[in-house]
Structure 1
Amino acid sequence: MGQYGEQKYWEERYNTEQAPFDWYLRYQHLKPLLAPFMTDESCILDIGCGSSKLAEELYDDGKKNIKCIDYSANIINKMQDANISARPEIDWAEMDVKAMSFDDETFDLIIDKGTSDAILCGTDSYAQLSSMLKEVSRVLKKGGVYVVITYGVPATRLPHFEKEEYGWKVDKLTTPKYEGAPPNQVYYLYVMKKVSEEKEEERNDQEDEVAVTIESDAPPKMSSPGAETGASPSTNEGNGDENLIDFDPPPEMQ
């Protein structure tokens, strides 16, 4: 499964694979979950689009301002050729999600269906995902939403998503893997809403008020273990390999 994080794997796969492939869920299942975050005028980005039919189905549902990126030139060329007549307004581009060429604050909605999961299967996965999330935050509009559809449980995903530097608030949703699935058979949707400037100022003011209150009520400081020797608390950065344990390859959906 480590190959899912490697560009060479996807180029070779798309060179031989002809049928569309959708990770996890198709648009008809995701539509009611995505609907609150988009209108027909929304500027939408599908990152790591692969051969998914998501963009095509969004387009057929009235969303015409769609951009799709993937670092596989092979699949971008195939998808562009397949849609040039029926869906000419979809913009397909070969691009690395960790170094996007879009302007700051371009998109109202960014959809990640399995791309984060693939990155977490690769080498130096934590740093690679961090680079991607910084870029996603950069190109997402204030008030815009980044939605991640994944098998990843909160314990393995929230530590990556809930970082102040990205400037968003994270909510978690779940949806059954299939109709009639037991309660423990779910996919997760992490919804990151970029904080507007007004909300950010309001939040900063609230944090300042809390800080003043805490400082005024705080007891005398106690030395932490190791303070006398200058020792630092131990850390375990990890490389993402533990994320492979809960990998649940979805069935191909035609």
Structure 2
Amino acid sequence: MDKKATWDRFYTESSSRTSTFKHFEWFFSFDAVRDFIMPLLQTKSHPDAPLQVLDIGCGTSAVGPCIYRHSPLPVRVTCVDISHIAVRLMQEHVRAKAVQPHNLSSQLEFVEPDCAQLHKCFSPSTVDLIVDKGTTDALLRSKEGTGKACLVLKQCLKVLRSSGSLLQFSDEDPDARLLWLETVVREQGVLAADVQVQEVGELRGISYYCYQVTPRPHSRG
């Protein structure tokens, strides 16, 4: 699940089963986590610029477009996925549906960089919010994905503003995920970020959680 070819094949097969586009959601839809995401987009860090939002490992989820549609403040939502098939499907869908933003200054784009190399597309300390719904889970459950999951987390911390947050939505128990997060964000014995957890709720008998990772300003080199 950490290979580009796997996801290209998945989205090719998924789209071939139906003649009309349908969003594919890991875990749950935007409505289930709207109250975790939108409160973080109520204050602008730079008055003259839109809030920068990344949806990493977006696939064909509606989360990114929903943030674009519902944010009252101007946002630039960048949906990132390693699969060019997923990116193309989303670009075509948004064009066909003419998705409109709540704020006319908002922007929405779909791009294909590897989430473990975000620094190639985003400058340090420029992003206000990163949403990860199931991407880290997929990596951690892959045979060779743990190292990449660590890289993705560190890349997220690099591009986040000190006022920004990474939200990881997961079904992994806090005892395991909190330990992993705190281990990865520790640099030379010092925590480079604060980690908190809230319960999203139970769906189809499975408990889901929101892990919020916030960079510590003094940890920036």
> Which residue in the other structure is 1:48 paired with?
57
Among 201, 206, 211, the residue aligned to 1:176: 201
Q: Does 1:133 align with 2:153?
A: yes
Cα shift readout 1:85-126 (whole Å, capped 9, x = no counterpart):
435921110010001221111211000000001111223232
Structure 1 residues not aligned, in runs of 5+: 202-254
Among 3, 14, 19, the residue aligned to 1:17: 14
Q: Which secondary structure does the structure 2 equivalent of 1:108 belong to?
A: strand
- Within a 5 Å distance, the mapping from 1:1-254 to structure 2 comes to 4-18=1-15, 19-39=22-42, 41-62=50-71, 64-84=75-95, 85-87=98-100, 89-100=107-118, 101=120, 102-162=122-182, 163-165=185-187, 167-178=192-203, 185-197=206-218
Taking structure 2 as the reference length, the TM-score comes to 0.79
Q: Which secondary structure does the structure 2 equivalent of 1:65 belong to?
A: strand
In structure 1, what residue type is equivalent to 2:99?
Answer: A
In structure 1, what residue type is equivalent to 2:144?
Answer: D
CA distance in 2 between counterparts of 1:44 and 1:177 reads 26
CA distance in 2 between counterparts of 1:45 and 1:191 reads 14
CA contact (8 A) 1:111 1:147 kept: yes
In structure 2, what residue type is equivalent to 1:121?
Answer: R
CA contact (8 A) 1:67 1:92 kept: yes
Cα shift readout 1:208-239 (whole Å, capped 9, x = no counterpart):
xxxxxxxxxxxxxxxxxxxxxxxxxxxxxxxx
CA distance in 2 between counterparts of 1:83 and 1:106 reads 25
* Worse-matched range after superposition: 36-45 or 153-162: 36-45
Which is bigger in relative contact order (C-alpha 8 A, separation at least 6)? 1
CA contact (8 A) 1:143 1:193 kept: yes
Q: Which secondary structure does the structure 1 equivalent of 2:93 belong to?
A: helix
Taking structure 1 as the reference length, the TM-score comes to 0.70
CA distance in 2 between counterparts of 1:123 and 1:150 reads 18
CA distance in 2 between counterparts of 1:122 and 1:38 reads 32
> Which residue in the other structure is 2:19 paired with?
none
Divergent runs of 4+, >4 A: none
Structure 2 residues not aligned, in runs of 5+: 16-21, 44-49, 102-106
CA distance in 2 between counterparts of 1:94 and 1:108 reads 20
Structure (1 or 2) with the greater strand fraction: 2
Q: Which secondary structure does the structure 2 equivalent of 1:81 belong to?
A: helix
Q: Which secondary structure does the structure 1 equivalent of 2:32 belong to?
A: helix
> Which residue in the other structure is 1:248 paired with?
none
Q: Which secondary structure does the structure 2 equivalent of 1:118 belong to?
A: helix
Q: Which secondary structure does the structure 1 equivalent of 2:208 belong to?
A: strand
CA contact (8 A) 1:130 1:160 kept: no
CA contact (8 A) 2:132 2:167 kept: yes
CA distance in 1 between counterparts of 2:202 and 2:27 reads 7
RMSD: 2.1
